[in-house]
Chains A and B, each alone.
Chain A
Amino acid sequence: MVLKAVSLQLNLREDSSAEEVLGNLSRGLAAARAGGAGLALLPAFTGLLFLLSEGERLSFDPTRRGVSFGPSLKILLGEKGRTGEASFLESMAALARQNSLFLGAGTLPVFRDGKMYHRAYLFSPEGKLVGTQDQTHTTPWERSWGLARGEGVEVWPTEIGRLALLAGSDIWYPEVSRILALLGAEVVLAPVTMPPPYGLWQQLAGLWQEVQQNQFLALESGLSGRLLGQELVGRSAVFAPCEMTAGETGFLGLAASQWEETWRELTRVYPAALEGLPISLRESASGGKGSGYPEVEVVSADLDLPGREAVVQAYPLLKLLNPSLYRRYLPGIYGKGDVRREGR
């Protein structure tokens, strides 16, 4: 089965209101559905838009003192966390249902048992919550605003394939992708945004290479712009094993929003590498599109699940693993700390 999928790129403008952004996202999903998409992914922090009150701009500073992202987030979650989450879930369920597609609804930080988790959500075309995934690893920046780590990962069998969510910074921790792959994930959905820099090389070192070493298909949905006083960067893309893509680039789709940096870097390092990159990027590169990108960009691609299976059969990377080597060293090499005491 070939599945049309879309990954939405969100380029926030500070003078936009949350309602305007959500309206654009909604229109993007409707256009995706009209184009035949059966799977869509929204960026990390999409849920934060539901914590803003009606009419509030994205530049809103709940601390009124210009302090950083973490304190702002805590104030918002404390004041509106529960109602915001409920509103987010309701709206996303409705969007999935209205557009009759599987929807990776992005992420929302949530409080549970006194701890804050970064949670990703997946809805079915009927609007039912298929599952959630908490981010399992935290960067120093995330720890600075009090984010706790999730404890497990899941893969959900659906009629379009075995789906999994990879929340936020987990794209940087290969242990997570390996577990998902060994649990049978065929398509991984990764809502991602982070403080700059996040350019071509960071993206290649993240989900692109996880796709290559695990042979699943993956969507990355990025948010760029300023939110709660924090500059954030994301780059939406659709990845597949190199063997399945034109020019063997590993890209099925890539947001045009940041093509200048990609074009510049590849031209400098190895110009032939530009050959085969998704057509929207190459057109942009030659056409000089400028910086006026839409607030919501739709990156679409065909996910060829039988084609992926054929690649795996021809070169079964996971069957060439060496379990006796890992038995000897894992998980002892991660340290001998008291994991029970660290438990939540």
Chain B
Amino acid sequence: MKLLELLKEKALSYYLHWLSDPGRVERLLNKKSYPKNCVALGLSGRKEVQGSGSSDLRVAAVQMHLELMPSAEAYAEQIYRLVRQAVEEGAQLVAFPEDSATGLLGLLPGIKKVAGAGSLEGAITEMAGDNLRVADIFRFLAPATRRIYEATFSGLARRFGVYLAAGSAILPDATGRMVNLAHFYGPDGGLLGTQEKCHFIPMEWEWGLQTGDNLQLFSTPWTKVAIPICMDASYFETFRIVSRLGAEIVIIPTANPEEYNFWKALRGIWPRVQEALVYGVNPCLVGELMGIKLTGRAGIFAPLQLTGNGDGILAQTNNSDQEEVVVANLDLGTLRRLRGEEKGEEDFNRQLYERYFPGIYDVVLPGHVS
């Protein structure tokens, strides 16, 4: 019996390897058309998009619908369509949501039959018994996920000539820990770096994932960009750290598992942008899978002083459950002037911080979740 299980597992691995051949993605993307004027737009760096006025950079936030993808080609098709839409709107940097690779669960044979299960855990139990955690399924699928995800976003970044914040995928890190990992690609298709999610909602701990404790900055011709993930925006510390390290654009790929409510949705990136005086880009994953309903309105946010209506919103989608792409111009020169005026060194009280930080986190929270 054990031997039979091993053979089945081996056969499934070979099947997934075959399904995830990057050549499949390459062939699909090669058949697609690419607007001529968009290629190498990102490589030109400070080149302005026509009609963008004095803005330095035009960015897009993608609201992506989560669907189980039966093949690499289907996945690449969806991502291509969304990138193209953003590029046609003039975007030079396109941001995708958290868990943008989760649709690749659809590669697992039989997954669609249990997709209506009340929970991801329930679906896994139905498929594979109750000895597996959610993280184990993502681990098993990881080689295929990685191949398709990387081929798709790298290939599209290169072909469109734009920077692609590729959302995130649940993958093992170099030590085997299962992490929620954002990827950032340059216009030559090269991977500029990755960012582990640093704060989890309780469900992710239950799934068996692990948080990171590093925040990365990525250089672009315009400025430095940070890409913390979703729940990371619930805490001022994340934005304070990356903005003090030099980030002027903070992308928050999001997949929010709750019904949409204006006020609850306002608790993440929007106040963080106001505190840290940065531009914020918030792509969202929407849809429903295995009892988890994801909602959100993708948006691009700025300090109140830099928005015409004074509301901190540069662009935001009109719905919370369907695909849509929004774009906006980011005026980095004006942002720098504002930061110089509003958040000078004198604004901070280092004596106060040195008295409490970081010890207060350990003293008060000896049993914090981990």
| A-to-B contact residues, CB < 8 Å | 136-140, 143, 149-153, 172-176, 178-179, 182-184, 197, 199, 201-202, 204-205, 209, 212-213, 242, 247-250, 265, 268-270, 272-273, 315-331, 333-335, 337, 339, 342-343
In the complex, what residues of B have CB within 8 A of residue A324's CB? Answer: 213
Interface Cβ pair total, 8 Å cutoff: 183
Asked if residues B347 and A137 are in contact (CB atoms below 8 Å), the reply is: yes
Asked if residues A136 and B310 are in contact (CB atoms below 8 Å), the reply is: no
Asked if residues A327 and B262 are in contact (CB atoms below 8 Å), the reply is: no
Q: Is the C-beta of B36 less than 8 angstroms from some C-beta in chain A?
A: no
Shortest distance between the CB of B276 and any CB in chain A (Å): 9
Q: Mark B189-216, 1 if CB is under 8 A from A, else 0.
A: 0000000001111100000000111110
Asked if residues B350 and A326 are in contact (CB atoms below 8 Å), the reply is: no
Shortest distance between the CB of B302 and any CB in chain A (Å): 12
Q: Which of B73-81, B117-125, B236-244, B329-337 interfaces with chain A? A: B236-244
Q: Mark B209-232, 1 if CB is under 8 A from A, else 0.
A: 001111100000000000000010
Residue in A151, A209, A270, A328 whose CB lies within 8 Å of B262: A270
Question: A319 with B365: in contact, given A205-B312, A331-B354 (CB under 8 Å)?
Answer: yes
Asked if residues B264 and A248 are in contact (CB atoms below 8 Å), the reply is: yes
In the complex, what residues of B have CB within 8 A of residue A265's CB? Answer: 311
Residue in B215, B263, B345, B367 whose CB lies within 8 Å of A337: B345
In the complex, what residues of A have CB within 8 A of residue B46's CB? Answer: none
In the complex, what residues of B have CB within 8 A of residue A136's CB? Answer: 349, 352
Q: Which 3 A-B pairs have the closest CB atoms?
A: A209-B271, A174-B236, A205-B274
Asked if residues B350 and A320 are in contact (CB atoms below 8 Å), the reply is: no
Question: A322 with B367: in contact, given A174-B236, A328-B213, A343-B351 (CB under 8 Å)?
Answer: no
Chain A interface mostly: helix
Asked if residues B198 and A325 are in contact (CB atoms below 8 Å), the reply is: yes
Question: A321 with B312: in contact, given A330-B358, A334-B350 (CB under 8 Å)?
Answer: no
Asked if residues A273 and B263 are in contact (CB atoms below 8 Å), the reply is: yes
Question: A179 with B263: in contact, given A136-B349, A339-B351 (CB under 8 Å)?
Answer: no
Chain B's interface size range is 35 or more
Nearest B residue to A277, CB-CB: B263
In the complex, what residues of A have CB within 8 A of residue B245's CB? Answer: 329, 333
Asked if residues B263 and A248 are in contact (CB atoms below 8 Å), the reply is: yes
In the complex, what residues of A have CB within 8 A of residue B241's CB? Answer: 325, 329-330, 333
Asked if residues B264 and A151 are in contact (CB atoms below 8 Å), the reply is: no
The complex places the Cα of A338 from the Cα of B271 at a distance, in Å, of 30
Sampled A-B contacts (13; CB under 8 Å): A138-B346, A140-B346, A152-B352, A172-B275, A182-B364, A183-B360, A199-B310, A205-B312, A242-B267, A268-B309, A322-B199, A330-B357, A331-B350
The complex places the Cα of A227 from the Cα of B232 at a distance, in Å, of 41
In the complex, what residues of B have CB within 8 A of residue A176's CB? Answer: 352
In the complex, what residues of B have CB within 8 A of residue A183's CB? Answer: 360, 364
The complex places the Cα of A172 from the Cα of B223 at a distance, in Å, of 26
In the complex, what residues of A have CB within 8 A of residue B368's CB? Answer: 318-321, 323
In the complex, what residues of B have CB within 8 A of residue A270's CB? Answer: 262
Shortest distance between the CB of A39 and any CB in chain B (Å): 24
Nearest A residue to B205, CB-CB: A320
Asked if residues B350 and A339 are in contact (CB atoms below 8 Å), the reply is: yes
Q: Mark B235-257, 1 if CB is under 8 A from A, else 0.
A: 11100110011000000000000
Residue in B211, B274, B351 whose CB lies within 8 Å of A151: B351
Q: Mark B258-269, 1 if CB is under 8 A from A, else 0.
A: 000111101100
In the complex, what residues of B have CB within 8 A of residue A153's CB? Answer: 352
Shortest distance between the CB of A172 and any CB in chain B (Å): 8
Asked if residues B309 and A321 are in contact (CB atoms below 8 Å), the reply is: no
The complex places the Cα of A276 from the Cα of B364 at a distance, in Å, of 35
Nearest B residue to A174, CB-CB: B236
Given A249-B263, A320-B202, A321-B235, 13 additional A-B pairs, CB 8 A: A175-B357, A182-B361, A182-B365, A202-B304, A242-B263, A242-B264, A323-B362, A324-B213, A325-B237, A326-B361, A331-B350, A333-B241, A333-B245
The complex places the Cα of A326 from the Cα of B270 at a distance, in Å, of 21
Q: Is the C-beta of B234 less than 8 angstroms from some C-beta in chain A?
A: yes
Question: A333 with B365: in contact, given A325-B215, A343-B351 (CB under 8 Å)?
Answer: no
Asked if residues A175 and B352 are in contact (CB atoms below 8 Å), the reply is: yes
Q: Is the C-beta of B369 less than 8 angstroms from some C-beta in chain A?
A: yes
Q: Mark B109-120, 1 if CB is under 8 A from A, else 0.
A: 000000000000
In the complex, what residues of A have CB within 8 A of residue B349's CB? Answer: 136-137, 149, 151, 173, 175
In the complex, what residues of A have CB within 8 A of residue B346's CB? Answer: 138, 140, 143
Q: Is the C-beta of B355 less than 8 angstroms from some C-beta in chain A?
A: yes
Residue in A173, A205, A248 whose CB lies within 8 Å of B304: A205
The complex places the Cα of A327 from the Cα of B359 at a distance, in Å, of 8
The complex places the Cα of A194 from the Cα of B358 at a distance, in Å, of 31
Question: A331 with B264: in contact, given A205-B271, A320-B368, A324-B213 (CB under 8 Å)?
Answer: no
Shortest distance between the CB of A267 and any CB in chain B (Å): 12
Shortest distance between the CB of A195 and any CB in chain B (Å): 14
Asked if residues B361 and A331 are in contact (CB atoms below 8 Å), the reply is: no
In the complex, what residues of B have CB within 8 A of residue A337's CB? Answer: 345, 350
Residue in A139, A179, A315, A335 whose CB lies within 8 Å of B360: A179
Asked if residues A140 and B271 are in contact (CB atoms below 8 Å), the reply is: no
Nearest B residue to A326, CB-CB: B358
Asked if residues A330 and B353 are in contact (CB atoms below 8 Å), the reply is: yes
Shortest distance between the CB of A137 and any CB in chain B (Å): 5
Q: Is the C-beta of B18 less than 8 angstroms from some C-beta in chain A?
A: no
In the complex, what residues of B have CB within 8 A of residue A140's CB? Answer: 341-342, 344, 346
Most chain A C-beta atoms within 10 Å of own C-beta, residue among B264, B266, B313, B354: B266
